[in-house]
Chains A and B, each alone.
Chain A
């Protein structure tokens, strides 16, 4: 348990820059029973709390403003691996890549692979319904969780779902996944494990315009080929990566590259590769190269996964944005984003899951420069509004947290937001779990100021 302000400062932010919220207390239970005991004590005293995994979230979901921070990262045991049925039962603090490493001996892996996977926890992934590059083919966290054992904010311990992944009754597992810590605290999670593909081909296509790359993405999706991953990086990202220790050998003068992975059954895979190469070339690719071995493949991926880190060289702070548009709208939205960036004199680095239409327009900036900060915020708002206008969403995998609260009533009607408040109230009538996040309080039709802060 941490109480001293100086110690608590270490827990005053997550992956979202520009916000500092100091909790009153940080608690680090080491066992499932301790988590339950803490939650029950908090319920008895009517104290609000914020669950936290590794604190890598990018929407400010783990920020705790004067409340209790409940840190789950000590619960890191893998309780059971059932390689026959391809299931694992894990505690919430298990790190994403640790699970994959532990089951690799069986030829299995855990499919959702957010860029923070070397640090982020399964509990956090469940809270945010985390995605990642390979979710294009294999699905997001929701599609991989079959059961959750949880303690509700009032201290009740309950199980949602079961090993078979078949439910009679309401889909409470699906409802719990992505609830951003507002519905309770996962004590253990049963996830599906994916068989490692028999064959993998990783391609790098380089383009002299973003538009050409975006059109290649649309062409691949429209053709019906489902790559395991289909990622885009633009020129500022490529240069940042190539200047860093994560240099991946991307062509430094390209305006955009696509990192495309096809995997699965060996037979016929190269025919799909050939089709993708043709589609890229037709869209104007200067070259398409296929990684020759595992080392080259690893290097191409490292550049992508560490792109955010590489941007750290560019400036002290980085907004990692997250939005979604229909995939046919990619060329138009990228052009619009470019226009917004130019207008507000900010640098946008696009590195994103193009195959899903899941954009990550990132802006490196100096948060201590008030003028630049204000221009960054205006540009971000305009980008979000452009994505909403294009029929998209304000977040594809990072969650609403604090960061996207202001956009919720632009995306959803008052009746829809009210229905979300009602859902929260079923799990947490006193709204003590992660208070003030996800749905703006003023949207709650029946809100009567029930939250009492201790």
Chain B
């Protein structure tokens, strides 16, 4: 069994020898493909297990290598859940989900990883064990190292333990699909309508035709909505949803299928702009990726203004083709394009770099002065 002090020892040795390491959770996303320059792997998968779970506090602390599915099982026994439910499914680890700040369909209603994490333990590149934040739900003691580490892709420290806020499972849930016309104007209006509802749906994800077909729930674009609450609330929410048009019931298992429908070899982009231009975002993403051989599928969250494109890359899609699509996406306008995955040979063509500003580089210098942690994962020499 690994321990934080053992990991610290390992990192001190690595730093002294300038030996670069690739930090790995369960390894489910290893083909995230970023060309990390490493001579060895440091896997956290053996560093697992729930450290503390007090159902009455709705908080849980687990080692970084704990699989999300194990947390789901432990909390469900008490009618609770960890609402991260990230894209990619529950096979991944808590540490990797937090390190990559991967969100899922519930982010608009229940928060992104930065909103859910209460504290964490991490080991800096030069081998210091740091315990940031705490296990209580409200805490402003000291500078916020927790937020700094969430989404830092393992480049500022190896996350070894995470404390999270849980939610009670809703008394009832209901999943429905509403057929949607995907023209600019209609989608912009849809985003507005969703935000103006007198409740926040647990999830509301737009699926393109390809995704609907693959999920076996229709042959056209569909807005998939998950409602939750007590009996009267869910009934009332269903009635309020009638402003969107005709709906049909969908099996609740569709969410898990949707989250894990990422092909083994894929390119995945996430594009975020304001909800008011969701229609343009969706259609521009569609145009940029439609011609990819083997096809791409898209889903998006109108209320958050996010569109996610998944392209299978085992169907003869060349790196150059993906590069063209990605550049077209980036060129369309203001917004954040996050590249989640690319085949290895496409990264050098795109050279996507993040966290290259002076502050970010200074942070890297402080916490990983020998640059032994996931070097290259943010692009360039970081």
A→B interface (CB under 8 Å): 82, 84-86, 128-129, 131, 135, 139-140, 142-143, 156, 158, 162-172, 174-175, 177-179, 182, 195, 197-198, 218, 221-226, 264-269, 271-272, 324-328, 353, 356-358, 391-400, 404, 408, 411-413, 415-420, 422-427, 438-439
Contacts and interface: CB of A to CB of B under 8 A. Distances in A.
Interface of B: 54-59, 79-80, 101, 111, 114-115, 124, 128-132, 134-145, 147-148, 150-152, 156, 167-169, 192, 195-196, 198-199, 229-237, 239, 270, 272-276, 304-306, 335-338, 354-355, 357-360, 362-363, 366-367, 378
A404 B131 CA distance: 18
B265 to A, nearest CB: 22
Contacts of A425: 366
A164 B305 contact: yes
Given A174-B148, A356-B137, A267 B232 contact: yes
Given A166-B306, A222-B55, A391 B136 contact: yes
Contact of B137 (A158, A164, A269, A357): A357
Given A218-B56, A427-B359, A164 B276 contact: no
Contacts of A391: 134-136
11 contacts: A85-B274, A156-B358, A165-B304, A167-B101, A167-B336, A175-B147, A266-B198, A268-B235, A326-B57, A393-B140, A400-B140
Contacts of B143: 175, 178-179, 182, 420, 423-424, 438-439
Contacts of B367: 419, 422
Contacts of B132: 416, 419
B56 A166 contact: no
Nearest to A166: B272
Nearest to A264: B199
A287 B220 CA distance: 55
A contact face: mostly helix, strand, loop, or mixed: loop
A404 B141 CA distance: 9
Contact of B138 (A163, A168, A222, A358): A358
B226 to A, nearest CB: 15
B138 A397 contact: yes
A174 B114 contact: yes
B151 A171 contact: yes
Contacts of B56: 218, 221-222, 327-328
A134 B199 CA distance: 17
Contacts of B354: 168-169
A174 B150 contact: yes
B366 A423 contact: yes
Contact of A171 (B114, B231, B305): B114
A265 B237 contact: yes
Nearest to A396: B138
A234 to B, nearest CB: 20
A150 B267 CA distance: 35
B111 A139 contact: yes
A411 B136 CA distance: 13
A136 B239 CA distance: 28
Given A224-B168, A426-B363, A269 B54 contact: no
Contacts of A324: 134, 136-139
A396 B111 contact: no
A55 to B, nearest CB: 18
Nearest to A439: B142
B230 A268 contact: yes
Contacts of B335: 164
A432 B147 CA distance: 23
B136 A422 contact: no
A162 B275 contact: no
Given A177-B144, A221-B58, A164 B272 contact: yes
Contacts of B156: 170
Contacts of A267: 232-233, 235-237, 239
B140 A178 contact: yes
Contacts of B270: 166
Contacts of B306: 164, 166
A271 B198 contact: no
